[in-house]
Structure 1
Amino acid sequence: MKPWLQPIALEGELVRLEPMQKTHKVDLAFAASDGNLWELWYTTVPSPPNMDAYMDTALNEQQAGLALPFTVIDKKSNKIIGSTRYLNVDSKNRRVEIGATWYAQRVQRTGINTECKYLLLRHAFETLTCIAVEFRTHFHNHSSRNAILRLGAKQDGILRNHRVDAEGNLRDTVVFSILDSEWKTVKTSLEFKMKRGASKQ
């Protein structure tokens, strides 16, 4: 029996999401170095020396049917600008989380994140027939929390003392979700935002 999640490329106007491959390593490290993203204590962006381990974890979880990692490519420049993935895959209950998302500093606060999330949500609800899609982020990552709310997700709650990071800090994790019954309205809102953003460029 085939795993529920199969590697697939997802393409929009601004970005192309390609299944992560080991050959992407150098370009992913270069993208993460734009802004030294790993220095943000409340995120888990890999530094160049940790990229092998980061990718191994993602690809091993894919092999086990627990994740589907993507490399994000800017169609305008045809350069790798970040990564995202489906994770915490629950095929029996048709639920996934969209997470482990990061982008080179130069493309942050552009329309790229909105389109990436739109492509992942559309595939989740319209192809995988998910009943819910989750988002999780660090309590202190306020920009991420606000970005998730802007997508149309609703906050489910906070998992307190959810994790211990490498420095021994306790992480509270904020959980959000979008339900299948909400997708039509969320989709309309995202398409409106993307269209309006394109008209300003």
Structure 2
Amino acid sequence: MSHWPEDVTLSGEHAVLAPLSQAHASDLAEAAADGDLHKLWYTMIPHADDVPAEIDRRLALRASGSMLPFAILTPDGKAVGMTTYMNIDAASRRVEIGSTWYRKSVQRGPMNTQVKLLMLEHAFEELDCIAVEFRTHFVNMQSRRAIERLGAKLDGVLRSHMIMANGTIRDTACYSIIASEWSTVKANLTWQLEKPRD
């Protein structure tokens, strides 16, 4: 059964996005253990032991048509994180980019910018999306700053939106980029990737 968006591999200088599979489980378990990412209470990153189950969960959502999950690979093919198109609305041509995490050793480099550029470019230029959404915990300032650096605008905050695994209540900050903003966002992301790094 085919779903919109269809499976695709997206490649750039600093990262490759490949359709997620259990073949990535070993690399992703190692990635999740790098920095004990699951201990960040305001995120939903799996413990290394739970990575195969998380892959199965995402693949089940793929089968239902509500998610397109990717493994984030280095150019030499090692899986170092996950990301998705999620909350897919095919009728209105809208997707959310989310459920994204990277192993600690590749954070704060060019990889996230490359991944977002690849996904946004595909969403706006191939899928003809009218908008792309981003959501994160209101208190996750690292994630919110990263989303804002992309050029996304804050649409609002969904208060008492989710119950987290530790029982706390999550307020969700909702951002979006709309189609008319894409050319400016693309120019800025391309410039960020090309400028010299300290």
The TM-score by the shorter chain falls in which range?
Answer: over 0.9
The aligned length equals 198
Matches within 5 A, 1:55-66: 55-66=55-66
Classify the secondary structure of the residue corresponding to 2:3: coil
RMSD: 1.2
Moved more, 40-49 or 171-180: 40-49
* Structure 1 equivalent of residue 100 of structure 2: 101
Moved more, 15-24 or 47-56: 47-56
Instruction: Check whether the contact 2:41–2:166 (CA below 8 A) recurs between aligned residues.
Output: no
* Structure 1 equivalent of residue 52 of structure 2: 52
User: C-alpha separation between the residues in 2 aligned to 1:200 and 1:51?
Assistant: 33
What is the CA deviation profile of residues 34-86 of structure 1, one whole-angstrom value per residue up to 9, with x for unaligned ones?
101000001110112221221111001111111100001111x5321111010
Answering whether residue 120 of structure 2 is matched by residue 113 of structure 1, we say no
CA positional deviation for 1:162: 0.2
Answering whether residue 24 of structure 2 is matched by residue 21 of structure 1, we say no
What is the CA deviation profile of residues 152-185 of structure 1, one whole-angstrom value per residue up to 9, with x for unaligned ones?
0000000000000122100000000000010011
The answer for unaligned runs of 5 or more in structure 2 is none
TM-score (norm 1): 0.95
TM-score (norm 2): 0.97
User: C-alpha separation between the residues in 2 aligned to 1:99 and 1:67?
Assistant: 10
User: C-alpha separation between the residues in 1 aligned to 2:42 and 2:3?
Assistant: 32
User: C-alpha separation between the residues in 2 aligned to 1:149 and 1:81?
Assistant: 23
What is the CA deviation profile of residues 6-49 of structure 1, one whole-angstrom value per residue up to 9, with x for unaligned ones?
11100000111100011111111101111010000011101122
The answer for unaligned runs of 5 or more in structure 1 is none
User: C-alpha separation between the residues in 2 aligned to 1:34 and 1:52?
Assistant: 16
Matches within 5 A, 1:1-201: 2-75=2-75, 77-196=76-195, 199-200=196-197
